[in-house]
């Protein structure tokens, strides 16, 4: 509510007038109602024009103050009419009507627009009309006031002059109000909100004037009594239109009021005229009651009731020129409620297209311009959507954001093109596409498009009510486009995720195949390395060793190979690797007795005996060589450099054996620090196979092996059989060696005659596999044919080695037994 002080001043003025009317009437009549009812009604009226507690207030405070004075003046006039028509009450009533009329003109001069490109002309803010109207009311107030205060000075004054002055002042102020309203409407007809308010006020004032004059003409009341009321009612209507919170509601109220007035005023005036013409007799209607007043009142009430029923239909006839767009916007907004975004957009544009075609054929259809991607979406008459490449000027989006309701009308741009040249290119762009209105379409993040409505043949600018409807439609389309964008983005992400999933599946399959190929390659290399051990494992000793190694490998723990000189420990280590759960992993070989450190890269060649070996590392750090060991500082001790090599993730044999098996040949030759590190740092995913010449306990006792490595190895040791204990395998081993040597040298395998075979069987082979391979290779090199005989063996100086004297007796049965087993095998 307005300030308490202002209310009490206004209430005191109204109460004073009502008390004066009550005193003049002798305490009877309607003065009591005026005294008790008008102050509360005034309080309600003042409260209705207060500034809203929340939201943006676009009403000028001066207009609200003027509206408060207008209500106070109207209430004062009503209070003065509650008593007998004395001069003092006439003066007070005229004073209230004057205050209402001049306050309404002040409020009209302070009517506020909604902003944007258009600005109020200075001529519409002048108070000339209020000052001019005050001249009429000065005489109308002064004459009765002087007559009431100093009757002796106004004795010669004709009382009719007071009536004439009151009527003239009322008509004069109404005329000034109409002229002022017409001037403001012409000057500010393009401003949203202002044009609606001023047009409503103009029609309200004209209606009030017409009703007042008609009432005075038919004799409802004397002109001097009814015209001030008419002036006050018109002033209140003007003030209400100026300070109303929603200008669109003013337009709707105007249409309904005009409909009711057009339908109800003629019956009411006719009833009054009939009553005055036949005050005592009947109306000449057969069967009607004798009371003419009753007939007139009853007929007027019936006709007014019918008018009330027909008023809404007639109010629609009073809609503005673009009323078809109101229905189109509502229909499009309802159509945009479709849960399917694309269908909602299509039906909304179709509804706008129908309203557009209703204007005239051949005009451009409504279009939705999207910013990203830059497209123009339209719907043809058959209801099909068309999308084409089109861009919206960035300046147009900026201007739409600054306009009321974010709606730019081409009339507003044309009105300011002289003082704002930057809008001229936009006017050309809009004119080329026959666009009359552009509404910005936003989502939660900002502008995403613009809805363009064709201009067509429309002559009047779009009203605020239509702009509000267009704004509601644009907001709904923004939500639809946002949902469509989210669904499109979701579908895009789904498609991208599906493609990514398919790509990852293919990648997993490719990597799986690559892993399988690597595992197969590792198994093939390990099988090639294990071939010498499995090629002729017929003897009990060989079979027992293979079975024991397979059993220990399946257990997953470290395995120790006890090797005699010349036995191929790599082949037996490969047997352990292939029998373990890590057979698909790498087989890394470390030679503890190597003279130099070798890089961990797999070699490309293949040794004559074993084919393509697995990666090998040396272990003698005190000897130089081309290896990663040289990356360590040269000032470090040899053991420290070797330990740094084993700790380095890029060169450590443990890292190279991850997921597979680490085979360490001559582990007792490794530096003590390396042995200790190997026993402590070996991970669980690396299998360990160690080849040593003696048992772990013996090596620990002699100081050749660290106790931590020995504890890690445990007692899982297997003694590899020597050739002396594999008599059943000698013939097969010899023929296997000769076959591979012959294929390499001559493309066909070598054979071995019986005498040479007997010599091979009788030899004890103290050098085991290494000695046999060397002997047979030398014999093949000197052989002229494809069969190795005693001649070739003698040529290389090979004979059956005589047994030591102490072992001759024991050796003969063993040699004879080997010969018998070999002959049986042959």
pLDDT at 551: 92
Which is it for strands 717-719 and 559-562: parallel, antiparallel or unpaired?
A: parallel
Give, as one character, the DSSP assignment of residue 579: H
Q: Say how many residues make up the chain.
A: 826
* Tokens read off for 463: 């009203």
- What are 746's two structure tokens? 């001559």
Q: Which residue has the higher pLDDT, 720 or 55?
A: 720
Residues in CB range of 280: below 8 A, 6 or more apart: 292
Predicted confidence band of residue 233 (pLDDT cuts 50, 70, 90): very high
Answer yes or no: are the C-beta atoms of 611 and 604 closer than 8 Å: no
Q: What percent of the chain has pLDDT over 70?
A: 82
Name residue 389's beta-bridge partners: 375
Q: Can you tell me the distance from the alpha carbon of 423 to that of 435, in angstroms, rounded to the nearest whole number?
A: 15
Q: DSSP per residue over 585-608, as a string?
A: S-EEEEETT-SSPPPSSPPSS-BT
pLDDT at 281 over 70: no
Q: How is residue 694 written in tokens?
A: 């003696």
Q: What is the pLDDT of residue 617?
A: 55
Look at the alpha carbons of 74, 77, 83, 85 in this order and tell me if their dihedral is positive or negative. negative
SS3 content of the chain, % helix, strand, coil (to 5): 65, 10, 30
Q: Which is nearest to 473 in space by CA: 627, 551, 368?
A: 368
Q: Which of 124, 120, 135, 221 is nearest to 173 (CA)?
A: 135
Distances (CA, A) of 541 to 566, 577, 773: 17, 20, 20
Asked whether the predicted pLDDT for residue 670 surpasses 50, the reply is: yes
Q: How far apart are CA 534 and CA 529, in angstroms?
A: 10
Structural contact between residues 367 and 452, judged by C-beta atoms closer than 8 angstroms: yes
Pick from 152-166, 367-381, 763-777: least confident: 152-166
pLDDT range class, residue 545, cuts 50, 70, 90 = very high
The one-character DSSP state at 666 is T
- pLDDT higher than 60, residue 797: yes
Q: 692 pLDDT exceeds 70? A: yes
User: For residues 593 and 83, what is the distance between their CA atoms, to the nearest angstrom?
Assistant: 134
The better pLDDT of the pair 708, 295 is held by: 708
pLDDT tens digit sequence for 723-750: 889 889 889 998 988 898 999 888 899 9
If you search the block for the tokens 């005294």, which residue do you land on? 35
Dihedrals φ, ψ of 612, to 5°? -80, 110
The pLDDT of residue 478? 87
Q: Which residues share a beta bridge with 687?
A: 661
For 487, residues 6+ apart whose C-beta sits below 8 A from its C-beta are 341
- In this structure, of 159-173, 221-235, 613-627, the range with the lowest mean pLDDT score is 613-627
Candidates 630, 722, 644; CA nearest to 677 is 644
pLDDT of residue 604: 42
Please give the torsion angle defined by the CA atoms of residues 226, 228, 231 and 232, in that order, rounded to the nearest 10 degrees.
-110
Q: For residue 286, is pLDDT > 70?
A: no
pLDDT at residue 620, as a whole number: 40
Per-residue pLDDT for 502 more than 90? yes
Contact indicator for 143, 429 with CB cutoff of 8 Å:
no
User: Helical H runs in 376-417?
Assistant: 394-402, 410-415
Tokens representing 756 are 């040479």
**Mean of the per-residue pLDDT values for the chain?**
81
Instruction: Compute the average pLDDT of residues 310-336.
Output: 66
Residue 409: strand pairing partners: 437
Higher pLDDT, 824 or 190: 190
| Across 121-127, average pLDDT | 88
Listed range (85-89, 249-253, 383-387, 798-802) with the worst mean pLDDT: 798-802
pLDDT at res. 332: 83
> pLDDT digits over 2-43, tens only?
466 778 888 888 888 888 888 888 777 777 888 888 888 888
Q: In this model, does residue 625 exceed pLDDT 60? A: no
* CB burial of residue 454 (10 Å; 0-12, 13-18, 19+): buried
Tokens of 783: 């052989």
Considering only CA atoms, which of 739, 773, 396 is closest in space to residue 566?
Answer: 773
What was the pLDDT predicted at 440? 92
Please check whether residue 668 is in contact with residue 710, taking contact to mean a CB–CB distance below 8 angstroms. no
Say yes or no to pLDDT of 690 above 90: yes
Q: Give the per-residue pLDDT at 208.
A: 87
The CA radius of gyration of the chain, in Å to the nearest whole number, is 58
Q: Say which residue, 90 or 248, is predicted with more confidence.
A: 90
pLDDT exceeds 70 at position 399: yes
> Which H or E element spans position 559?
strand 559-562
The span from the CA of 8 to the CA of 4, in Å, is: 6
Judged against a pLDDT cut of 70, whether residue 421 lies above it is answered with: yes
Q: What is the biggest distance separating any 2 CA atoms in the chain, rounded to whole angstroms?
A: 182
pLDDT, position 184? 92
Percent over 90 (pLDDT), the chain:
21
Average pLDDT score over residue span 806-822: 43
Give the whole-angstrom CA distance, residue 592 versus residue 617: 8
Residue 473, both tokens: 């439609």
Q: What is the pLDDT of residue 501?
A: 93
Please give the helix or strand (H or E) that residue 823 lies within, else none. Answer: helix 808-825
Q: For residue range 78-118, what is the model confidence (pLDDT) as tens digits?
A: 888 888 878 888 888 889 999 999 999 999 999 888 888 88
At 816 the pLDDT is 46
Q: What integer pLDDT is reported at residue 689 of this predicted model? A: 94
Residues 6+ apart with CB under 8 A from 813: none
Q: What is the DSSP letter of 713?
A: H
Which residue, 195, 23, 181, is CA-closest to 108?
A: 181
Rounded mean pLDDT of 348-374? 77
More confident residue, 498 or 329: 498
Residue 761 has pLDDT above 80, yes or no: yes
pLDDT exceeds 60 at position 285: no
- pLDDT tens track for 193-208: 888 888 888 888 888 8
Residues 6+ apart with CB under 8 A from 811: 764, 803, 804
The domains located in the chain, with CATH, are 4-244 (no CATH), 246-282+290-318 (no CATH), 325-489 (3.30.450.40), 536-721 (3.40.50.300), 725-825 (1.10.8.60)
In this predicted structure, the answer to whether residue 1 has a pLDDT above a threshold of 50 is no
Work out the average pLDDT over 521-541: 88
Lowest mean per-residue pLDDT among 67-76, 336-345, 467-476, 515-524: 336-345
Q: Using a cut of 0.85, tell me whether the model's pTM lies above it.
A: no
- According to DSSP, residue 633 is labeled -
Q: Could you give the CA distance from residue 221 to residue 217 in angstroms, rounded to a whole number?
A: 9
């Amino acid at each position: 509510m307005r300030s308490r002080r202002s209310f009490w001043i206004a209430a005191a003025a109204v109460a004073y007038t009502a008390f004066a009317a009550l005193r003049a009437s002798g305490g009877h009549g309607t003065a009591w109602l005026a005294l008790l009812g008008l102050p509360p009604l005034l309080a309600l009226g003042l409260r209705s024009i207060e500034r809203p507690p929340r939201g943006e207030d676009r009403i000028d405070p001066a207009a609200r103050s003027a509206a408060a004075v207008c209500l106070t003046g109207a209430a004062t006039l009503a209070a003065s009419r509650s008593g007998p028509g004395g001069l003092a009450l006439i003066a007070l009533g005229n004073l209230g009507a004057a205050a209402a009329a001049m306050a309404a003109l002040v409020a009209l001069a302070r009517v506020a627009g909604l902003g944007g490109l258009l600005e109020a002309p200075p001529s519409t803010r002048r108070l000339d009309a209020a000052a001019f109207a005050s001249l009429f009311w000065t005489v109308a107030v002064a004459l009765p006031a002087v007559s009431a205060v100093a009757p002796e000075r106004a004795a010669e004054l004709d009382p009719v002059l007071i009536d004439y002055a009151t009527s003239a002042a009322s008509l004069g102020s109404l005329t000034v109000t109409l002229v002022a309203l017409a001037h403001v409407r012409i000057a500010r007809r393009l401003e949203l909100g202002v044009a609606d308010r001023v047009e409503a006020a103009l029609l309200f004032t004209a209606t009030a004037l017409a009703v007042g004059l008609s009432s005075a003409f038919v004799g409802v009341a004397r002109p001097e009594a009814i015209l001030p009321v008419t002036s006050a009612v018109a002033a209140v209507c003007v003030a209400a239109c100026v300070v109303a919170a929603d200008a669109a509601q003013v337009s709707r109220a105007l249409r309904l009021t005009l409909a009711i007035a057009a339908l109800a005023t003629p019956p009411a005036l006719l009833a009054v005229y009939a009553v005055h013409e036949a005050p005592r007799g009947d109306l000449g209607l057969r069967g009607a009651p004798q009371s003419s007043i009753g007939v007139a009142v009853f007929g007027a009430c019936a006709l007014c009731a019918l008018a009330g029923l027909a008023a809404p239909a007639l109010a629609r006839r009073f809609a503005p020129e673009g009323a078809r767009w109101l229905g189109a916007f509502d229909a499009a907004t309802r159509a945009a409620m479709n849960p399917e975004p694309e269908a909602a957009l299509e039906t909304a544009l179709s509804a706008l297209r129908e309203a557009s075609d209703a204007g005239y054929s051949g005009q451009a259809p409504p279009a939705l311009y999207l910013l990203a991607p830059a497209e123009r979406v339209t719907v043809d008459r058959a209801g099909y959507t068309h999308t084409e490449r089109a861009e919206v000027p960035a300046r147009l989006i900026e201007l739409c954001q600054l306009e009321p309701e974010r709606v730019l009308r081409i009339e507003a741009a044309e009105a300011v093109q002289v003082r704002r040249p930057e809008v001229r290119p936009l006017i050309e762009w809009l004119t080329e596409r026959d666009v009359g209105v552009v509404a910005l379409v936003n989502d939660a993040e900002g502008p995403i498009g613009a809805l363009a409505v064709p201009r067509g043949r429309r002559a009047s600018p779009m009203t605020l009510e239509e702009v509000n409807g267009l704004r509601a439609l644009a907001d709904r389309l923004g939500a639809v486009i946002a949902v469509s964008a989210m669904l499109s983005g979701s579908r895009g992400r789904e498609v991208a995720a599906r493609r990514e999933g398919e790509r990852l599946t293919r990648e997993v399959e490719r990597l799986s195949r690559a892993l399988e190929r690597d595992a197969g390659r590792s198994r093939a290399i390990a099988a090639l390395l294990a071939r010498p051990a499995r090629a002729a494992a017929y003897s009990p000793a060989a079979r027992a060793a293979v079975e024991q190694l397979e059993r220990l490998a399946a257990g997953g723990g470290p395995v120790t190979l006890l090797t005699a000189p010349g036995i191929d420990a790599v082949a037996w280590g490969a047997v352990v690797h292939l029998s373990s759960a890590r057979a698909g992993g790498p087989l890394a070989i470390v030679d503890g007795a190597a003279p130099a450190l070798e890089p961990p890269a797999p070699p490309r060649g293949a040794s004559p005996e074993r084919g393509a070996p697995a990666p090998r590392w040396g272990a003698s750090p005190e000897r130089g060589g081309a290896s990663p060991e040289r990356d360590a500082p040269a000032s470090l001790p040899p053991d420290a450099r070797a330990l740094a090599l084993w700790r380095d993730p890029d060169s450590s044999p443990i890292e190279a054996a991850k997921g597979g098996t680490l085979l360490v040949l001559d582990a007792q030759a490794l530096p003590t620090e390396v042995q200790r590190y190997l026993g402590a740092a070996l991970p669980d995913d690396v299998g360990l196979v160690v080849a040593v010449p003696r048992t772990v306990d013996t090596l620990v006792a002699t100081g050749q092996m660290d106790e931590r490595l020995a504890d890690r190895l445990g007692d899982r040791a297997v003694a590899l059989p020597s050739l002396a204990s594999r008599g059943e395998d000698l013939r097969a081993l010899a023929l296997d060696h000769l076959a591979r040597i012959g294929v390499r040298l001559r493309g066909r395998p070598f054979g071995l005659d019986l005498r040479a075979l007997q010599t091979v069987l009788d030899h004890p082979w103290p050098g085991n596999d290494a000695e046999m391979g060397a002997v047979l290779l030398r014999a093949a090199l000197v052989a002229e044919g494809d069969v190795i005989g005693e001649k070739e063996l003698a040529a290389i100086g090979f004979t059956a080695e005589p047994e030591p004297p102490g072992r001759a007796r024991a050796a003969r049965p063993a040699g004879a037994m080997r010969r018998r087993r070999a002959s049986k095998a042959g």
